[in-house]
Structure formats: structure tokens, C-alpha cells
Amino acid sequence: DLQIVAADVRSLGESPSGPYDGVFHAAGVLRDGLARSLMPDRVDAVLGPKVGGTHALADLVSEGEHPAFVVLFSSIAAVRANLGQSAYAAANGYLDGYAARRRAEGLPWYSLGWGLWTVGMGEAVAPRAAAHGVAALTEDDGIGLLRTALGRPPAHYVLSAATAKDASMTAVTPDAGLWPSLTLAVGKVLHLDSVSAEDDLLELGLDSMMAVELAASLAADGLDVDPMVFFEHTRVGTLLTHLESLPRAASQAPAPPAPAPREPSYAAPVAPVAPAA
Ligand SMILES: NC(=O)c1ccc[n+]([C@@H]2O[C@H](COP(=O)([O-])OP(=O)(O)OC[C@H]3O[C@@H](n4cnc5c(N)ncnc54)[C@H](OP(=O)(O)O)[C@@H]3O)[C@@H](O)[C@H]2O)c1
């Protein structure tokens, strides 16, 4: 049975009662603008449905049996925003952090960092992006990626048109494993504030000396890597998948992530924002 109810996601008092098989949070508002135009009402308009909506949904599903999954529709902007998207990046970064916290509690929360779609809020932008060589996800691409992600363990997945072409869906940003040390090393060697799975090492200026430095840095994690590997797997997400398939000295595996604080808070860490490519 399908029941459609119109409601403000920030206040779901009148919603049909659970249990819910699964929950998708896809409400969002875009109000791009440079910092000087970021009045509180514009920021609230963007943060409200994402941050307030996530907490309202969390309250809604906290009673009784937890749904099989909760999926927060986030954006690639949280890791790689365009000019004028600071509020939108912060709102989506909050979603990514919040879902990670719930996963740390053992709950099946996903955050999906969507790249541009040809529909919805992407519709007006997609033609201009295409003119600059940036592809957008069609509805079929997006639904396909959604199905693929839901078949995988709950995590933060960055899903874009580039990912859609990649059947193995390598462009993910898992919270654990080698991701923290790889991004730390790449950021340090290439002098970047933030690194996303979509980044391409060659486009970021990797040279052979830097590749040697990267290999040395990963050696600290027990990985014996030939520096050539960074020229063979240039996308960070693809590189991560490759590195995680390599044998590693068990005693030097990275420590598990620190446990998350118990209570959700609006002051949760926001994903760093890098300029758009
Ligand atoms: N399309 C893209 O290219 C793209 C890329 C990255 C991420 N995303 C994310 O994917 C999600 C869906 O995007 P979309 O393209 O479908 O956007 P969209 O076409 O603009 O739709 C957003 C929907 O959110 C609803 N909404 C906003 N505030 C709400 C609130 N307080 N309570 C309930 N509903 C509310 C809007 O309802 P009303 O129309 O009634 O206001 C609208 O139906 C968003 O979270 C967006 O950030 C989209």
C-alpha cells in the first residue's frame, strides 16, 4: 500500500506510524550565493530540511523496530562544492557526519553524496555543466547506483556520473580501512585541505617524487607499494579499492576509528569543502 502524506520534514508529528521498512530522506533546498549574501534566512532555508529533517526522521524511527535502512540524500558538494555553495555543503556535510555517527552505533544509515542529476535541482544546471564537460546522472543511472549502494554495507558513498560508468562502484568514501591514512597522505603530499574519492592524482599535479613520498607514507600502514601504482590507479576511489586488495602487515593495520560521541549535536563536524574542479 502506498500512502502519500504532505508534511514538513522538520516536523513529522502527523506522519503515519511505523514500523518502516526503509527510509529515504531526499528533501532539500538550494540557495546558492556568495558569502556576502548569506543572510541567516538563506542559510536556515538550506540547513532546515537537511539538518532539522534528519533529526525529525531520527526521532520518528527511534520508537520500536529500526528500519532496515535509512538513506540520507546528501551531495558531492559536501566534499567538493561549487562556488557559492557553502551553506549547501555544510548541510550535506552534516548529513554525512550524522549518518556516520549512527553507523558507529551499529545502525544501518547511509549517506549518498550525489553528483549532478539531469532532473530535480540539477535540471537547470546540467546543460551548462555538460558544456564544460561535466556529465550528469540520468534517472536510470541514479536509480541503478541507488540499488547498487543499497546492496552494499551502510557507508558514505559518493555517486556521480563518473561512478555510474564504473561497474565496480569504486568511488566510495568509507569511514574506515585505509581511507583516513590514504587521504591524509594524499592531502599532505599534494598540499590539499580535503581529498575526495573523485579526485584524480594526475590532475592534482602528482609527479614521481610525490609518488615516492606517498608510497613511503603508506609504508607506515604496512603497505609495500610501488610508486608506479599511483600512475596506474589515478582516481583516489579506484586507488583505495586497489590498495585495500593488497596484502598488509597485520600488526601495522590502522587503528579503528574513535567511537562517536553519544548524543547528536548540531556542532557535528562538517566535511571540508574544496573548490570545484
Ligand atoms: N538533483 C541533483 O542534481 C542533486 C545532486 C546532489 C544532491 N541532490 C540531493 O538529492 C535530494 C533530492 O533532490 P532533487 O533534485 O529531487 O531536488 P528538488 O527537485 O528540488 O526536490 C526537493 C524536494 O524537497 C522538498 N522539500 C524541501 N524542503 C522540505 C521540507 N522542509 N519538508 C518536506 N519537503 C521539503 C521540496 O518540496 P517542495 O517542492 O514542496 O518545496 C522538493 O519536493 C536533495 O536532498 C538534494 O540535495 C540532488
CB 38 within 8 A of CB 16: no
Q: Please tell me the predicted confidence (pLDDT) of residue 134.
A: 84
Q: Which three cell numbers stand for residue 38?
A: 548569506
CB 116 within 8 A of CB 134: yes
Phi and psi at 260, nearest 5°, equal -80, 155
In terms of Cα–Cα distance, which of 72, 81, 131 is closest to 100? 72
Q: Please tell me the predicted confidence (pLDDT) of residue 175.
A: 55
Indicate the pairing of strand 156-159 with strand 109-114: parallel
Q: Which residues line ligand 1 (CB under 6 A)?
A: 8-10, 26-29, 48-49, 73, 75, 114, 116-117, 120-122
Residue with the smallest CA separation from ligand 1 atom 16 is: 120
Distance 258 CA to ligand 1 centre (A): 33
Q: Please tell me the predicted confidence (pLDDT) of residue 88.
A: 96
CA-to-CA distance for 47 and 64, rounded, in angstroms? 28
pLDDT in tens, the chain (277 residues): 778 888 999 998 777 778 899 999 999 999 998 888 899 999 999 999 999 999 999 999 998 899 999 999 999 999 877 788 999 999 999 999 999 999 999 999 999 999 999 999 999 989 988 888 889 999 999 999 999 999 988 988 888 887 776 544 543 455 567 888 888 899 988 888 888 887 888 888 888 888 888 888 888 777 788 888 888 888 888 888 888 888 766 544 444 444 433 322 222 222 322 323 2
Q: Please tell me the predicted confidence (pLDDT) of residue 243.
A: 86
Q: Which ligand 1 atom is nearest residue 50's CA?
A: 45
In terms of Cα–Cα distance, which of 215, 221, 219, 214 is closest to 253? 221
Q: How many helices (H) and strands (E) does the chain have?
A: 10, 4
CB 54 within 8 A of CB 98: yes
Q: Which ligand 1 atom is nearest residue 121's CA?
A: 15
CA-to-CA distance for 166 and 236, rounded, in angstroms? 13
Domains of the chain plus CATH, in order, are 22-165 (3.40.50.720), 179-252 (1.10.1200.10)
CA atoms within 13 A on the CB side of 232: 8
Q: Please tell me the predicted confidence (pLDDT) of residue 166.
A: 58
Q: Which residue among 31, 42, 73, 95 is best mutated to probe the pocket of ligand 1, counting the most ligand atoms within 8 A of its Cβ?
A: 73
Q: Please tell me the predicted confidence (pLDDT) of residue 174.
A: 52
Q: Please tell me the predicted confidence (pLDDT) of residue 146.
A: 94
